[in-house]
Each structure stands twice: as structure tokens, then as C-alpha cells.
Amino acid sequence: MYGFSKFYKYPLPLLLLSLWLVAVFLLSEQPAHSQHPVISNKEKYQSTLLAKRIMPSTLTENVRKTVLENGLTVLTKEVHTAPVVTVQVWYKVGSRNEEPGVNGIAHQLEHMMFKGTRNRPIQFGRLFSALGSDSNAFTSYDQTAYYGTVERNKLKALLVLEADRMRNSQIEPEQLASEKRVVISELQGYENSPEYRLNRAVMQAVFPNHAYGLPVGGTKADVEKFEVEQVEKYYRNFYSPDNAVLVIVGDFQTANTLETIKEVFGKLPRQDSAALASPRASAGGRGQGSRGSRGAEEQRSRGESLYSLSPIVLREPGVGRLLQVVYPLPDANQPDVPALDVMDYILTEGRNSRLYQALVESGLASEVTASVTSLRESGWYEVLVTAGAKQDLKKIDSMLSSAIANVAEKGMTSEEVERAKTQLTADVILSNRDITSQAMRLGTDETTVGDYRYTDRYLAAVRLVKPADVVAVINKYLTKEARTVGFFEPTQKRITEVPDKPDLTQTTENFSPGAPVLFSEVMKYLPPVDLATDAIAQVLPDEFKFTNGLRILLLPDQSTPTVTLSGHIQAGTEFDPDNQAGLAAFVADNLLNGTNSKDVLTIAKVLAERGASLDFQSYREGVHIEGDSLAEDLPILLEILADVVKNSNFPVKELELHRQQTLTDLQQELDEPSEVARRVFVQSIYPKKHPLHTFPTEESLQQIQRQDVIDFKAKHYRPDTTVLALVGDFDLNKVRSLIKNKFGDWEVSGQAPTLKYPPVAMPEKIVSVNPVLPDKAQAVTYMGYTGINRYDPRFQAALVLNQILGGDTLSSRLGAEVRDRQGLSYGIYSSFQAGKNAGTFLIEMQTSPEDSSKAIASTRQILQQIHQQGVTALEVETAKRTLISNYNVSLANPEELTDRILMNEVYGLDKGELHFFTDKIQKVTLDQVNQAARELLHPDKIVVVTAGPSVLAEKSIR
């Protein structure tokens, strides 16, 4: 869903394409090697080896830059690994171009860009959905971007739609009023987070006179005041070809595509250059108003110490203490940025990092994260620490400062620096395996530093960073005088658990169904396109089964020098004992904490030295394994995986540290409306003693002993319940032999544990539950009941039905009515969560507390409408095209492809299901979908859980 960006670790990382978290990092335009004119032959040799190992070719070697006569910059990159293409339009405007009073107008305009144009007065999300485009948008500090990824035959259609809304968007009063409510709902969701509120306060102090100190998404007070004329003026000033970058990456021919671009975009007029000037009159220019730059220098000249100023302290409702420290940094065009990023990895990346050792291993903190942000006009280094139980923030702050000072005083080893450089560079390579991410990187570089080749130069500069460079940037920027500190001290009573038996209020509603959405309108405004999909190459994985029962699926793919690993072990939380809920997660989370031959730091170091990752995540029906590495490091990745699943020994110290971290995490989860709503919803559907009913509590986590962890691991981690899937650059026979060598001695004893899920009855009427979370700004609602499993013959029809109902928050029936027309929810989705043993039908929405009842009533009205009247043939055909196109696009992403291969095997489906799936969707009929609607939608037998402020408990659903 479109939203605004938040900055996280890794320089120039992927812009996350789900929900509202999007990372955008920009770094120095100047090559950092200019600082190092003298380099020894040994250093040159080591740097060359590193370059060849992790960067066999540049990221931009076949990128072509074209500038049209009207000023539009076009970046094209052919990637012919799959018949898909991504189209992205980046505008060089963001919250940086705002000032108090109009804070959030860039974000508001981004929302309005989906509302339609003079030529196409229709919600653009519905057009993108009809094309099967994986489309979205985001607003950041320096740019606003719109992106879509489709099958290659829909390329021109996407270009036509983007060109249309570049200059022809309509901003109508009624639509603006509706979308302002949506934006306010979005902002209220962020306000639920203590981390967000603390960050907002700290950033305002760091940048008191610069727009970087304003929240990217805006404030409720400013959004409420936006008028049509303001938004229109902003649109006219900044949305023009000469202020935009068009990025296309994928399976296309450059020459033909450039002719199409000139035809579609070339006629758009360029903007008056004066209009492109920043509207800020008093927000300050480059570097102005930044505490730590001009502000710090003025105070130092008066003999004052910024550190003597008291920290910003927020005493507000919430749970868990937070410490945030922000250090001002230079803008993106400064040469120190590569060394700053290496510094960040040394300080906070992984178990061996300096701040993790000082704060987390000591028990002072449960988590420490950090990120370097480098933008057009400034930057900052942000450290966020979640305090451990009963730990004092002042003590943590003192330890944080001491740890950083210690690094500056004593330095770090060449080994640490080389490891950080390898991790950082591998992260960049591994994050650019799919075409959408590659285009994101090009767009980020071009709009922020003005050069799409920046990342190549940045990686070259990273390879030249030395220990002395890291010490130099710490001494230069991470000083006590420059930093701004924020404390979050919660005021409300600590929540220990969600009540197991919530107070249920049963209500009944009357309905007056409205008219269904006319999907003929979608086809009326859809650009001409050949709707026949391209045939996908029928490449299937090779499947092997060893004598111990281990199954592996291997699919060689030489498109990038990387490997993606995905795995499944039948050891999920469904096996948790009633009094030890959380045991399965305890085991999965501690597998990497030591084996008979390696301790936790050794394991972390081995992976970090190669920039590889390995993670275990428990869920209801299993443990999911995720791993990736550069191709030549696959043997190391498999060696660590085999060692931990066979020989993990769960050291006492690590278990106790993990227990404290988990207890802290639990408290934070129980302060989140979404988590509380999910828990109460599931426990309201599935009765006690059902495998899905149990959730961890403080009491259950305290009950888990080391022997319980060892016994669970011995019982449930077995080769005959394990599946591994690998996709990447490897030799099939060599990898098969390698896996056999590493896993062949994994022994199995007896039969694998099994569970029988008891049948669960539907609720007899509407069940309404309102768990209260005091002082939350946004409410979260879950609605639903038990559903179908993966083997149900109605599965494909249910997918089509769900796509029509709520599969997309902009184009579905729910999205069109509840979100787009009424503006009641920032996001509303439905899904049939179909597992091996049980399934759940679920609708989730986020609303302002005062809008919850109306949104719930409207949702039930639509369910009733579809249940009674069914859907239309055009809706079914559109939904099928969308599902098929989205599926084909997903197969171009190595991570999604690997997961598809894995889960087909876990569910016992033929490996050909990888390609049969689209045929099955295509064969779904209107009658089958309407039958599924009659059998699977039950608006009068539904559980409705809304978690939020206490006022909700006094409202019935109408």
C-alpha cells in the first residue's frame, strides 16, 4: 500500500514493496578513493580479490540514459531472465520541499495521484489491478515514486497510465476530503508506535529549521487543513517531465521502447524552471538549522556543551523503554559516507558487533538497531535501543557512549573492517536480484545524487575503506557535543497478557446492500493491451530424496551470482504444550546460538565474513528456513545449516538472554492493536485445546527450561519432515553431492509426530469483541471465521472470489467502498489463509476509532451483497488475469520462486504445480466463484474483533 518511507539499515537498500516501510539511502557522489592517494600493493591485491569475489560485474553496465526534449530523464536496463518488466516514475520532490503548515502535502498528493485523471476518471488502482500490475507508490524526504511490475506485453499500457497522471490528474473536493481521512488513518497508525513518536520529537530537535525535521507523512493538524487549490498548485509545480525520472528494467528491446516513450511522454510540456524551486521560504537551506552543525558550533563558541542539555523525555502511554540517539551527518555528496556505513556495520550488524556486545549481551538492552541516512541536504546516524527489563535509560546511554568512545580510542581490527565491507557489499548485491529492486536503486541514485551509476562508485569506495577511516569518521561525527538524545518512558500499567476469555458482546445488524462496483468502467478506461499472457518457460526443479527422508529441490539459475535457500521443518507452534506456549519458537530462535563445535560468535562470524544470511522463523505449521549467499559461498551456508539443525546445543547463557528479549518483545506486542486483535480473533475462533488457540504469555515463557528445548528439538527436528529448496547459480550434481555429504548422517528414529486438528464449528451469530488499549490513536479490526484448507476443491475459486472481495486495497469491492469512496480505512484486505490442516477466512482493516463501527457495518454489507447476489463475469475474468499476472511476476523474484517451489512440496503437490497453478486459475468459472461465495461467505456468522481505545468498548456494531 502506498505510504511514506522510513530509513533502515544498509546503504541504498531495497525499497520494501509491502505495507508502508520503504528504505532509501543515498551516498557520496564523489569517489571516496580520492582520500587515499597512496595504497600498498598488498591492499590493492586484497581489494581486487574482494571485487572479483562479490562484484563480478557492475550493476549498471548495460543501463542506458536518455533525456527527451521536454527534460524527462529515461533510464533503461534490459534483463531477459523472465518475461516481466518494471516501470517506475520518480519525481524529484518530497517532504524536503515542505514547511510547517503544509507538512505532508507531498504525501497527500501521492494518494491523490490514484484518484483518476481528466481522461480516465477512475481509481487507478483498479486499472493497475486489471493489468495484473504489482503497483504501489511512496513518498520520501527527497522524492516521490510510483512503480509497477507486469508481464512484458503490458509495458506500453503502464507507460500510458503514468504519462496520463503526470499532467492530467484531477483533484476533486469530495475525493480530497475522503483521501484526507485515509491519510489521517494512516498517520494514526504510526502514532500507535512509541518509536515513531520518539523519533518525531528527536528529529524536530535535530532539524529545528529544516524540513528533514518534519514527519514525512505529515501531521493530522496540517492534513486536515489542506485545500484543493494547495494540492493542485503543488501538483502543477512539481509533476512535470523535466522534474521526473522514468526507469524501465526487464524484458524489452531498448530501441523500440524508447520510441514508445517518446510517443507517450514526449508530448508532455516541461515546467517553468522557476516553479520547480522549493516552496520553503523559512525552512532553511543546505545544512541550516541542524543541531550539531551550525547550532552546535554557535553553542561551542559560547563555551556551552550540547551534551549538558537534558535529553528529550517522552512520558506517554506505551510499554518498554526506548533510547534514541541521532548524530548529524553530511549530505549525500560528501566522501565520508562509505566509511560511515562501514562504521555502522561494525557497531551494530550482527552478534559480533560492538554495540550488540556492549548492550545486548550484557542484558542492558533487548535490541539495538542503527542506520546511516544520507540525503540531498544533510544526513544523520540514528541509533535506537530497546531497554532490557528494569534497565535504566541513563545507564544504557552512558554505556552506549562509552562503547563508541572505546572504538574511537582503541580502533578496530582489519578483520572487523574487512568483514563489515564484505557484509555491506554482499547486501547490496543480494538485494538487487529482482528487476523491481534494480530499478529502485537506479531511481534512488538518479533522483538524489543525480547519477544512476552512483552505487557502482560507492561499492568501489567501500572496498578502499581502512580502519583509520572508520576511526576518523567516529571522531568527526559521533561526538557528545553533536548528538541529540531521546528517552521514551512509558506511563501506563504494564500489560502481562491478553485475557484468555474476553468479554463477548453479541449483536445483530440490518443491511441495505448498495449497488456493486461496475467493472465495465475498468475496461472502458484501460489502455489497449494484448491481454494474452506470455508463455513462461516450463523449467521445473529437480527433486531428490535421501534415505533418511530429507527432500531437496534444486533449480539452477545463472542470472545472478547468488543462491537463495528456503526450507521447511515440521516443528511449528502447533506442537507447543498448553503450559509452554512459545517453546517451538524458542527452539527455532536459538538454533544459531551454538553447536557442539562452534559457539554463537563463531557461527555469526563465519556467516558475516561472507555476507551470507541464515534465519529460522517458526509459525503454526512449521519452521521456515531462509538463507542466501553469493554463489561461491553456498558450501559455507549449507555447512552452517547442517551443523545447527543436527548439533545445536542451546547454551544456558544464550537461552536466558533470549528469554529476556522475548519477554520484552511480548510486552511490546501486547501494546500493538494489530497483535492484540489477531490474538483475540484467533482465540475467539479456535477453542482451548485446539492447536491454533495457544499463544505465548509471560507465564508460559517462564516455564520453558533448557531440557524442554533439547527434548523438543530431538523430537521434531528430523530429516523426514524437512524440505530444502535452492534456486541460484550452482551445478546441480555438485550441490546434490554436497547436501548428501552434509545431511546424509542426520539420523531419524521412529515415526514423526503428528497432530489431528479437531473440527471447529462456525459461530452461531455475530460475535463482537473489543479489547481495550488505552490512548491508542488508531484501531485495528479483524473479522472472520474458520475457512478452507489447501486441499479443498474450492481453493482456486476461493482465490478468485477473494481477489474480487478484498485481495487488493484499491481495486476490490471492499477497497473501492470502504477505503476509496468512504475514506474509512487506510488499508483493508481479505484472505483465505489455507494451511495443511486448517484454514481461516480473515478481513483486516485499520481505522480511526470513530470510524470503526461504520467500516465494520459497510464491510458486512458487502459480504452480504456478494453472498446473496454473487459477482459478475467481468469481475471474475479481471480477477483471474490479475492473479495470473501477479503469479508470473512473482516467479521472476528468486525469493518468491524458491518459496513457491518449497511450499508446493510441503503441501504434497506435484512439482509441476509451479506452472499448473495458472491453468487452474484460468479454468475457474463464474458459477464456481458464486457457489464459493454462497458457501464460504457468512456475514451473519462472523467474529469481529476491534482493538483500540476504550471508547470502542462502548460502541455496538451498527
Q: Report the run of H or E that residue 313 belongs to, with start and end.
A: strand 312-316
Q: Report the run of H or E that residue 444 belongs to, with start and end.
A: helix 435-448
Residue 40 clears pLDDT 90, i.e. is over it: no
* Centroid of chain to Cα 515: 35
What pLDDT, in 10s, does the model give residues 213-261? 999 999 999 999 999 999 999 999 999 999 999 999 999 999 999 999 9
Q: How many CB atoms lie within 10 A of CB 795?
A: 17
Percent composition of the chain: helix, strand, coil (DSSP 3-state, to 5): 45, 15, 35
What's the pLDDT at 507?
35
In the chain, pLDDT over 70 holds for what percent of residues?
A: 85
Q: Report the run of H or E that residue 435 belongs to, with start and end.
A: helix 435-448
Q: 504 pLDDT band (50/70/90 cuts)?
A: very low
What pLDDT, in 10s, does the model give residues 650-699? 999 999 999 999 999 999 999 999 999 999 999 999 999 899 999 999 99
Written as nine digits, the cell of 258 is 524508447
What's the pLDDT at 522?
81
Closest to 665 measured CA to CA, from 631, 701, 708, 611: 701
Residue 52 clears pLDDT 70, i.e. is over it: no
What's the pLDDT at 521?
77
CA-CA distance, 718 to 593, in Å (whole number)? 19
Closest to 188 measured CA to CA, from 827, 947, 848: 848
What's the pTM value of the predicted model, to 2 decimals?
0.89
What pLDDT, in 10s, does the model give residues 704-736? 999 999 999 999 999 999 999 999 999 999 999
Instruction: Report the half-sphere exposure of 508 (CA within 13 A, side-chain side).
Output: 2
**pLDDT higher at 301 or 879:** 879
The torsion defined by the Cα of 792, 797, 800 and 804, in degrees rounded to 10, comes to: -100
Written as nine digits, the cell of 453 is 551509476
Residue 108 clears pLDDT 70, i.e. is over it: yes
Residue 31 clears pLDDT 70, i.e. is over it: no
Q: What are phi and psi of 422, to 5 degrees?
A: -65, -45
What's the pLDDT at 810?
83
Helices (H), 239-285: 254-265
* Centroid of chain to Cα 722: 27
CA-CA distance, 639 to 742, in Å (whole number)? 7
Residue 267 burial (C-beta neighbours within 10 Å; 0-12, 13-18, 19+) = exposed
Written as nine digits, the cell of 270 is 516541461
Question: What is the DSSP code string of 652-708?
Answer: HHHHHHHHHHHHHHHHHHTT-HHHHHHHHHHHHHSPTTSTTT----HHHHHH--HHH
Q: Which residues contact 28 (CB under 8 A, 6 or more apart)?
A: 332, 333, 334, 335, 336, 337, 338, 374, 449, 458, 461
CA-CA distance, 465 to 398, in Å (whole number)? 29
